[in-house]
Structures are given as C-alpha cells and as structure tokens.
Amino acid sequence: MPNPLSIIVGAIPRDCPIHQGQPRGAVPTIPAANKVKSRTSRLYFLALVALAALALFQPAAADSDPDPYSSLEFYLKYRQVVDQLGCIQCVSRPLLGCETPTCQDAKALIRQKLAAGESPDQIVQFFVDRYGDAILLNPPARGFNLLIWILPVVALMAGALAILVLLAKKGQAKSRLSPAPLGDEYESRVMEEVRAIERSRG
Amino acid sequence: MADLGAVVVLAALIVAVFGVAASLIGHRRGIPALVISGRRAALSVGFLVVLATIALIVSFVTNDFSVRYVAERSSLETTLSLKIVAFYAGQAGSLLYWTMTLSIFTAVVVLQNRRRHPDLMPYVTAVLLGIQAYFLFLLGFVDGPFERLPYTPPNGLGMMPLLEDPGMIIHPPMLLAGYMSWAVPFAFGIAALASGRLDSEWIRTTRYYAIFAWLVLGAGNLLGSWWAYHVLGWGGYWGWDPVENAAILPWFIGTAYLHSVMITERRGMLKVWTMALLIITFHLSIYGTFVVRSGLITSVHSFALSSVGPYFLAFLAASLIGSLALFTRRLPAMRSDNEFEFTVSREGAFLLNNLILVAITFATFWGSIFPLVSELVRGVRITVAKPFFDQINGPMLLALIVLMGIGPLLPWRRASRQLLWKNFAPPVIATGVLALALFAIGVHEPLPLIAFASCGFVAFSVALEYYRGVVVRRRAGQTLPRSVVNMITVNRHRYGGYIVHIGIILIGIAVVGSNFYQLEKEVVLDPGQATRIGRYTITYNGLNETALPDRRIVSAHLSLTQDGRPIGEVEPGRSFRRNFERQPTSLLVIRSDLREDLYILLASWDADGKASFFIYVNPLVMWLWIGGVVLILGGLVTIWPERSLQPALATAPAVAPAGAGATADA
C-alpha cells in the first residue's frame, strides 16, 4: 500500500469546519502575483502546522485515551460534559461532532480528566476558566442571562392574556351569535349558481 | 461585458427611481399616462437587471479574471456549469441575484394585474421598484460585482470547495428567492394601507403570491438542511445556527400570516393582526437576507467590517418606520366586520396557532440576537445554541402539532357538544390505540411517546376529513378515485393544506426520531480493527490516496455488516482542493433506509494508518425528506391554477349533507 501520508501527517489543519459555507478565519483573496502566492501559502501552511504542534493540548496518544464506551456510566458522564460545550474554534457549533484537531484534543482531554476522577462540573469549569462563558452552548443561567428564557415565556403569557382580555371585553359588549353553520367555498358557489339559475328563469 | 454590467446597473437604478415617482405622482394627480409609464419602468428594470446578470455570467464564462469578483470565485479549471451558477456565490453576486429575481417577479405581477386593481397597482409598483432601487444602489455604489482589478491575474482562485456541492448550488438561491418573494404580498399590503382599500381585494390577489413565497422559502430551508446533512458532516440537519434561524424566522411568521389571512378573508376579522404579521414577515425576510452577509450575529466587530451591513440596517429601519406609520394611520379603517368570539371554534384554534407561531418566532429571534445584546450591554461574549432552542421551541412546536390535529375538527364560529364528540371521538380513540402500540414496541420515554402520538393524532384527523369528504361524494355516485380527485380539485386550498400538514408531521416524526434516538460514536481504529454501533459492525481496512488534477483525496476503506450480514464496502474520505487545502471537504458515507441512516465521517488519521471516525445512526431521517416533498406537493396543489370556472353543479353533489357538520366548513 502506498504511504497515504504524502499529503499531510497527523491531523488535518483547517478552519472552523463549517459556518454555513462561510468558514470563519481567512477567506482567500487575490494575491499580488502568482509566485508570491505559492510561497506565502506554503509559509502559511507551515505556520499552521507549527501552531497545531504548539496547541494548547498535547495530541492525545491512543494508549492514554480512555475509551468513552467502556461503560455506560463513563459514557453518560462524558456526554454530560461534551453536550454543554461548544466548538473551540467556531461559534455556536456543538463540540460533539466537531472534528477539528483542537476539538478532538479537547474531547480526549475530557476523557482523560474523567478517567482521572474529576467530576463533570469541574471539567466544564476548567473550560469556562480557559475560554470564558462563550464556550458553553447555553449561557450560565444566572443574572442578566436569565432574560433569554424569561422574555419569550413572558411574551407568550402576555399574548395569551391580551387575547383573553380583549375577547372578554367584546363578549360583554355584544350578545352571542347563533351557531349557524357557514358553508365552505364550494357550497357558496353552488348557492350562487342556484340563484343565478333562478334569476335567469325569473 | 463587466463595464456594460456596471452601466446597466446604474441605468436600472435611474429607471427604478423614475418608476417610483411616476407611479405615485401619476396616481395621486390622476395622470393615467404616468401610471402606465411607471408600469413600463418596472418592466424595463426587469430587462436591465437580467442584462446585468447576463453580463456577470459572461464574465465568468469567458474567464475575465480582471474582474475581482470573477477572479476570487472562478478559475480556468472551473467547469462551465459551475461558472454559470458561480455568479451568486458571493455577496455582490447574491445581491444581484436577489434583485434579478425580484425584478422578474415584479414584471410578472405587473403584467398579470395590468387591467386590475387600479387603486392598488400604482402603489404595488412603487413599493416593489423602491425595494429594487435600494438594492441597485447597493450594487452600484457600495458593493458591485463588476469592480476591476488593477491587473489581470493569469488564473483565478476557483470556487470554494464547499460551494461546489449541488445542494449548495440550489439552496442559497432558493432561500434568497423565498426572502424576495415576500416583497410582493408586502407590496400589496402597503398598497392597501396607502390607498385605504382595506377590504379583502388585496388579500384575494396576494393569496397565491403569499403561498408561493411560503413554499419557496420552505423549499430553501429544506434544501439547506439537506445540504447540511449531506455535506457538513456533523451528523445533523438542523443546528439552530444563527444563519439557519434567520432563514426559518420569516417562514414561521409567514405560516402565522397564511393562517390568520384565512380568517380575515372568510370572516373579515383580525385585519390589524394579519397586516402586522405581513409587515413583520417581510422585514424578517430582509433581516434574513442581510444577516447571512453582514456577520452581525457572530459579533458586533465582524459586523463593522461588512460593507453592506450598515446600509441594510438603515433600509430595515426606514422601511419599518414607514410601514408602521401607514399602519397606525389606517388602524381605524381596519375594524373587524364580525365580532370575534373566543369559543371552541376554528377561529379559536387559528388564534392559538398564531400566538404560538409568533412566540416561536420571537424566541428564535431573541435567542439569535441575545449574544449581541449581551456583548453590547455587559461586554460579555456568550453563546446561545441548540440546547436553548430545543428547550424553548420544542414544547411550543409540539403544541402546534396538537393544534394541527384539533383545528380541522372544529367548525367555524361555534361548536356544539354533540358535534365535538362526533368529530373528536374517532381520532382520539385511534391516537390512544397508537400510543399503546408505540409503548408496546418500546417507546417508553414520555416525551417521544407524546410527540409521536401527537403526530399520529394529526394524521388521523386529516384522514377523517378526507374520509368524510369522499363518503359524501361516493353517496352521490362517484367512483372512489374520481371522488378523491374531485374533492381536491373543487377545494384545493383546504385539501392541499391538509397535504401540507401531513408533510409537516412526517418531518415532525423524523425530528423526534433522530433527536431522541440518535446513536453517536467517535472512535479511533487501527487497520483491521472493527467497531459496533446499533445493528452495524464497521471494519476498517486501511487508507487510500487518490491524486486528481485539481484535488487529492484520502479515503478509508470500510466493510459494513448489518445484524451480522455483509451489506457492502464504503469509503468515507476527505478531499483537498487546490488553493483550499485548509478546508478539506468531507466525503461522507450515508446509508439510508426508511428506518434509519448510518452516517460515517472520516475525521482524521496519523502516520501509522490509525484513523478516527465519527459514526452516527440517525433513525427516521429519510422521513424528513419524504415529508419535505409531500409539503411541497401539497403547496403546489393549493396554488395550482384553476382550469376553467366550470359550474360546480356539473361535477359535484348538489348540497353537502347536513350530517357532514364541521367538514362542510373549510
């Protein structure tokens, strides 16, 4: 088998995997000239590889990476952490399912910390300390952030209340209509035609 | 060609501004010649904008890399078909595309109504041309696609690999066309407000345009999720991403409009409410158009960098203020013809449906802009993502589904107790049986059980409606297929609408199944190693590399078995396009059947051939796409043009039997 790694050794260097077709980060623009282009892009590439090597997390070696599916208990704890966190590099993507090297390393780190006996809350806090509240998929439910849940519920209640009040007022003002059935379009068309026939006869 | 395009854009702008003035002055002063010339201006703008679009396409096809927009998106290697569609791949081009579709739609509307609605049409023309003038201004002075580079590069960069997918080629234009289409009903609404002709004339005229807009926007959203599912590789089809939210907002509120407008048309009620919904729908469409491009949502800072962002905001504000001013001036004229009674009735169900849809729209909007609010108010960057939207919209969407089952069973105005019993007993009993059956086959969690049963309830209630309609016609001596066809053709709106409802619940079933029962596995395998997920065993045999002229592909060879039976070999991979090595696209493997999808992504690999895979089993996802097709078909039934107005008496029984009760009321 040919060595498949003539392309890239290790993980794939890349931007945010997706932002609806608009990757965040550098979108290529026209370079000054072709020659410069190839050199800059190679430099850029090397710089990225170097950055990846210097990344916050040491790439997790397979033997030190616990299998998250070894027990249900471990997996549920793992999901409890992962499901609260977003992608390290891009906005509002879940960490679960994100395959950038940074995110894969972050997930490996979570598994290692869990195996080392840290609690899910401690691990989440570790990420919040490092990246701020923005790393959480939902903002912490306290203070100003509570508005995000309260306002829609209040709006729904207020809407319902407004409708009830408005109708109660009208209900008092006017006596009720008799429940005469109303015809559908088809029926009214039939009636119109019947009337038209009667008119033409009369 | 590019220079011609630039000139044509400016010419179109001048003609559009003239058309606005001519229509308004001609109508106000009673000068028919000016009104006609406004109408012709609308047609001319259509012609000019199409010409500008052709100029841009020709620049792409002839590899005119001196045009910056072309050089950044195309290359000598780009295939011809991609070059033709590449023109809407960037901001300036998509603005041109938006303007082109609107100018064509405007021309169609103006021609269709040239002899009708003399009080409304001048305003309609003026509003539509005004919107186009604004976009042409952006194209001419802020961000035009015809800008020249100071030199001619020998080759262009080529298209971003993600955009090469067929789903990407059709879904953004579909979405943009959906946004654009709402301009037409909005223009009629504004015309009704401006002229004071607030009877049901404008509503009858816009009925088909509004359903059309709703359908196109719905199709855009569906294609968008199809693309996300098949290309992005995160195992899902909807993530409540800010861009997705922007696309679904006008669709939710547009759905509310389509329902409330039925009450307004039939019963002359809720005029204020219906008009308000229409105004909001249009402005959310504009918001959707610009949020995608402005970067507003991701951060205030990226917004400042966008060239069109501030202009969009200004347009949005001006248009909103103008609409609201007209709206408040006409408030007294929009009084109801009938008193509204909130009893157990069809109107009551519609009103609740409207309330919930508006609440969902508000929650979705609020959630999308909350990070921005937080950054502005507190200076703290936070994220609001899928968990929030699932928590808040999930219950409301469920309530909406239940209402979809209840609504058709209720008569207009008021329901007697016997009628309620007669209408509700069969579907409720059937739903109870279904819930027991679901429990027996293993659906034990309360939430999915309730959700599946609610979907079933809608299906039963629609089935009952169809059954009753057919029975009435069968009694009149029609054959079964004929009575079904006859029932639908005589009342397309109603029975087409029910087909749309069936499409929605199929989508609902897929959403519940894939959200509650998804299996997920992120696994690292050595060559020769295997992993199990659900019914499947996946054996990894090793990596392959393929070099093509413009890309290199790395793929992993996998053997699959299902319940121990071999079901084939697959090769998920990664494609590295020249110039875009940092954005390799995923070559996903998705094996679908009606029960579930097996979804495999090659995530990464190392020097020893060790590879990591993300594997998902997504139950029932196929029904999402089936439901989408059903929804579109149902929508087409409702707007399919009536053949001739042949007498209804000739094809149908004389009078619906009194026993039909609620079913006789559309």
pLDDT in the model for residue B122:
95
Cα–Cα distance for residue pair B664/B661, rounded to 1 Å: 6
pLDDT digits (tens, 9 = 90+) for B475-524: 888 888 888 888 888 888 889 999 999 999 999 999 999 999 999 998 99
CB contact under 8 A, A167 and B342: yes
pLDDT in the model for residue B392:
93
pLDDT digits (tens, 9 = 90+) for B357-402: 999 999 999 998 898 899 889 888 888 988 999 999 999 999 999 9
CB contact under 8 A, B661 and A181: yes
Using pLDDT thresholds of 50, 70 and 90, give the confidence band for residue A190. low
B339: which 2 tokens?
Answer: 């008193």
pLDDT digits (tens, 9 = 90+) for B289-312: 887 665 555 544 444 456 777 888
Mean model confidence pLDDT for chain A: 66
CA pseudo-torsion sign B140, B143, B145, B151: positive
Say which DSSP state B239 is in.
-
Q: A-B interface: how many C-beta pairs under 8 angstroms?
A: 252
Most confident residue range from B9-13, B167-171, B411-415: B9-13
Mind telling me how many Å the CA of B533 is from chain A's nearest CA? Answer: 11
Taking contacts as CB-CB distances below 8 angstroms, the residues of chain A near B239 are 92-94
pLDDT in the model for residue A199:
64
> Which range has the worst mean pLDDT, A102-106, B159-163, B350-354?
B159-163
CA pseudo-torsion sign B97, B223, B312, B143: negative
Single-letter amino acid, residue B635:
G
At residue B618, the 3 state secondary structure works out as strand
CB contact under 8 A, B665 and A13: no
pLDDT in the model for residue B602:
93
Mind telling me how many Å the CA of A98 is from chain B's nearest CA? Answer: 7
Q: Please tell me which residue of chain A has the smallest CA distance to B270.
A: A163
Q: Is A142 on the interface with B (CB under 8 A)?
A: no
The CA–CA distances, whole Å, from A168 to A129, B168, B334, B411 equal 53, 51, 20, 21
Of the two residues B9 and B583, the one the predictor is more confident about is: B9
ipTM over 0.85: no
Q: Please tell me which residue of chain B has the smallest CA distance to A144.
A: B374
A8: which 2 tokens?
Answer: 């890239």
At residue B424, the 3 state secondary structure works out as helix
Q: How far apart are the first and last CA of chain B?
A: 54
pLDDT digits (tens, 9 = 90+) for B43-75: 999 999 999 999 999 999 999 999 998 988 888
Average pLDDT over residues A52-64: 43
B60 close to B79: Cβ distance less than 8 angstroms: no
Return the closest-CA partner of residue B344 out of B406, B263, B415: B415
Single-letter amino acid, residue B105:
F
Across the interface, which of B72, B157, B581 has its CB nearest the CB of A45?
B581
Q: How far apart are the first and last CA of chain A?
A: 95
Contacting A residues, span 37-66, partner chain B, CB-CB under 8 Å? 41, 45, 48, 62, 65
B109 close to B129: Cβ distance less than 8 angstroms: no
